Amino acid sequence: MQESLDVMIEAILFSRSEPMTLPELCRALKQPSGEVKKSLLVLEEKLKGRGIALIRANEEIALATVPEAHELIERLRKEELSRDLGKAALETLSIVLYKREVSRRDIDYIRGVNSTAILRSLLIRGLVERIPSPTDERMFLYRPTAELVTLLGITNIEELPEYHSVQAELGARSEVGEKEQEDASIPKENEVEPIT
């Protein structure tokens, strides 16, 4: 059963948890701009009166909480910041520390799960920062902040326990992930449709 395009747009924007441009959505959905624009209007209408809204700003499209929920969301964020870091946050933080600069995709691959919410929490806490990727303007990299290094009581990231061996292991895992992604993008002989 083919899902409606507005449902797919909502799913993509929710799972990405960061803004996307119209061309990025069109590429992801393999749909023309006109169809995606129509579906964005349908989605926007469906979300009216709900806790989430479709936001359009500076050519970017995202899902965000409605302004009416601002106070509640802020209170929940403050409560979250006052709690200790959980296992998932510590795993993510370790990857960022040992890799120094890493994409969310690589973090997700290493951990085996989506890390968007964890990264958002670490960003809010000021433990990591997000910077544009120098090699791909559509991507961001995450790196440890000076505040994190200070909190750890070290002056250089290389002072972390077993820094070089852990970094080598993480590098090997990332290379395996990149190789698997390349292999997945190359169609197998039986998957290639003959030209007629």
Q: 164 and 88, same structural domain?
A: yes
Q: 48 and 136, same structural domain?
A: no
Give the separation between CA 104 and CA 111, rounded to whole angstroms.
10
Q: 100 and 62, same structural domain?
A: no
Give the separation between CA 15 and CA 107, rounded to whole angstroms.
15
Q: 92 and 174, same structural domain?
A: yes
Q: 56 and 99, same structural domain?
A: no
The total number of structural domains that make up the chain: 2
Domain boundary among 66, 97, 113: 66
Q: 50 and 93, same structural domain?
A: no
Q: Which helix (DSSP H) or strand (DSSP E) does residue 82 occupy? A: helix 70-82
Residue 66's identity, in one-letter code, is: V
pLDDT in tens, 74-95: 888 777 767 788 899 999 999 9
**Residue 196 falls within a domain, yes or no?**
no
Q: 88 and 176, same structural domain?
A: yes
We report the CATH number of the domain holding residue 35 as 1.10.10.10
Taking each continuous run of H as one helix and of E as one strand, the counts in the chain are: 9, 6
**Residue 92 falls within a domain, yes or no?**
yes
Give the separation between CA 68 and CA 125, rounded to whole angstroms.
24
Q: What is the domain extent for residue 128?
A: 84-184
- State the pLDDT confidence band at 186, using cuts at 50, 70 and 90: very low
Q: 159 and 108, same structural domain?
A: yes
pLDDT in tens, 11-45: 999 887 778 999 999 999 999 999 999 999 999 99
**Residue 97 falls within a domain, yes or no?**
yes
Taking each helix axis as running N to C, give the angle between helix 104-111 and helix 163-185, from 0 to 180 degrees, rounded to the nearest 10.
Answer: 100
112 has pLDDT over 90: yes
Give the separation between CA 38 and CA 43, rounded to whole angstroms.
9
Domain boundary among 35, 66, 97: 66
Residue 69 region, left (φ>0) first, then alpha (ψ -120 to 50), else beta? Answer: alpha
**Residue 77 falls within a domain, yes or no?**
no
Q: 127 and 41, same structural domain?
A: no
Q: 172 and 88, same structural domain?
A: yes
Predicted TM-score (pTM) of the model is: 0.55
Q: 98 and 47, same structural domain?
A: no
DSSP β-bridge partners for residue 55: 62
Q: 178 and 99, same structural domain?
A: yes
190 has pLDDT over 70: no
**Residue 71 falls within a domain, yes or no?**
no
**Residue 165 falls within a domain, yes or no?**
yes
